[in-house]
Amino acid sequence: AATDMHGIEKREGWSSRSAFILAAIGAAVGLGNIWRFPTLAGESGGGAFVLFYIGCVFLLGLPLVLSEIFIGKAGQTDAVGSIRHVAAHSRASKSWGLFGGLGALAAFLILSFYSVVAGWVLYYVGVFAADFGGALLAGEPFRGALAGEDHGAIQQRLGDMFANVPLLLGMHAAFMGLTFYIIARGVGSGIEKAATILMPMFFALLVGIVIYGAFVGDFGEAVAFLFTPDWSKLTPGVMNSALGQALFSLSLGVAGLITYGSYIGGSDRLGPTAGIIAVADTSVALLAGLMIFPIVLSVGLDPAAGPTLVFQTLPFAFQEMPAGSLIGLLFFLLILVAAVTSSISLLEVPTAWGIGEMKWSRMKSATIFGLGSFVIGIFCLLGYNVWADVRPLGFWDIFAETDILDTVDGFTGKIMLPLGAFFTAIFVGWKADRRLVAETTGLSRFWLGVWRFLIAWLCPIAVAIILVTGLFPSIL
């Protein structure tokens, strides 16, 4: 990479506004949309969760998306440095930078289990690639998946995978290695290039599978399941996970969009950009629901199956459906593609911190955080076999039954992300210099007013209430 006269790497940036939008959508759209959203929607009973989630996205998430991009664009450096820059400009304390550090830590932790789950996906890509290869050789390219296996055997594949530590480790290592490789190449030839190749591929696959599902699956029942609210199911716990999911899916609270926003060079107007990101991410989550539930419901499977939904239940469905072997392969490829464009954003946050604050080279920083996250991921995956009984936060009632991976997921998603969102809202809503905000975002006076109300009042209050009631349900 190019260096300046002090031997410090020059900061790269996006080549265009659309490059940033594509990369940001890539970061937002991921396992969160295709694995976590359907899982939570299914477990939480569908409609009420989904509608509350959509409300969270547009009333709380969208203003936060804009806030994070604003901080990054104004700061032009890593998350901690960018927050400090805005703070200095606004005569606020530099210690606000701490919430950027909290975000970078959350990103680092999320990456660890994210890579493990993406490793499962990678394995299933392999399973279905082999299956489709077999179908081709047999001269039956359009047959169902996993021909001749009974349900027990299909389910057993997941159990066997979980019991196979070397396999899990290999897949986790392969996915983390790929993430590392892209991040080590930098913003232009790494992140941007990956996004411009992978995102169009992703959308083509997604639309194709949704159309397929609409023809062969039970689309009407899926729509009813996803959009008919039963408000009695909206408990504080469900609200907390819906908020956590909205934040997770939009990549908020981990300083991801601060970091990506810091590579914006020009004078883009940020309002439409933030809107596009939020709408695209939410559409993909809903489309993923409309892709998965018709298939699940049409074969009478349980939508509340939990984290194993896409791994265990969907293969049953692919087995019974025309061209299921091919569709199964495309489906897991789709998830894998989405996961890569997100995991790189997770690694980029701490990596940018190392470059900006510790003055490390990109290579060194990406190696340290990639490896560190890989090691934590090993603990997560051992929670599926040798440490299956370990409950890291078992003393805390809401995590009493939670294994290692789900604990890292739950702790970051339910606690760290809402905290990050809360501090972002207070900082941008109350501390940041209003002239700087207006200039950097390019918002009209009307939208500045709307946004200020949401970010200064609604976001902090709603996030605080949901956080506290979710963590301590007994106070209600």
Sequence-distant (≥ 6) Cβ neighbours of residue 44 within 8 angstroms: 233, 238, 241, 242
User: 100 or 324, CB closer to ligand PHE?
Assistant: 100
Residue 465 structure tokens = 């209430």
Q: Which is nearer to ligand PHE, 32 or 354 (CB)?
A: 32
CA distance readout (Å), 463 to 281, 321, 398, 413, 418? 20, 43, 18, 13, 6
Give the shortest CB-418-to-ligand PHE separation in angstroms. 13
- Looking at the Cβ atoms of 103 and 324, the one nearer to ligand PHE is 103
CB of 254 or CB of 443, closer to ligand PHE: 254
Residue whose structure tokens are 């109350």: 430
Minimum distance between the CB of residue 445 and ligand PHE, rounded to whole angstroms?
A: 31
57 vs 86 by CB, closer to ligand PHE: 57
| Helix, strand, or coil (residue 3) | strand
Per DSSP, the three-state class of 155 is helix
Query: Where on the chain is the footprint of ligand PHE (CB under 6 A)?
Result: 27-28, 30-33, 107, 110, 248-249, 251, 254, 256, 342, 345-346
The 8-class DSSP code of residue 12 comes to: P
Beta carbon of residue 366, minimum distance to ligand PHE (angstroms, whole number): 16
DSSP state of 248: H
Alpha carbon distance, N-terminus to C-terminus of the chain: 55
Q: Side chain identity at 289, as an amino acid letter?
A: G
Side-chain-side CA neighbours of 390 within 13 Å: the count stands at 15
Smallest distance, ligand PHE to C-beta of residue 338, A: 7
Q: Count Cβ neighbours within 10 Å for each residue of 88-102 and write b for 16 or more, e otherwise.
A: eebebeeebbebbbb
Q: How many residues does the chain have?
A: 476
Of the pair 65, 254, the CB lying nearest ligand PHE is at 254
Closest CB to ligand PHE belongs to which residue? Answer: 32
Give 239's contacts (C-beta < 8 A, 6+ positions apart).
52, 466, 469, 470
Residue partners of 145: CB distance under 8 A and separation at least 6: 128, 131, 315, 318, 319, 324, 325, 327, 328
Q: Which is nearer to ligand PHE, 115 or 345 (CB)?
A: 345
CB of 339 to ligand PHE, least distance (A): 7
> Cβ of residue 34: shortest distance to ligand PHE, in angstroms?
8
Between residues 90 and 407, which has the closer beta carbon with respect to ligand PHE?
407
Find the shortest distance in angstroms from Cβ 349 to ligand PHE.
Answer: 7
Find the shortest distance in angstroms from Cβ 314 to ligand PHE. 18
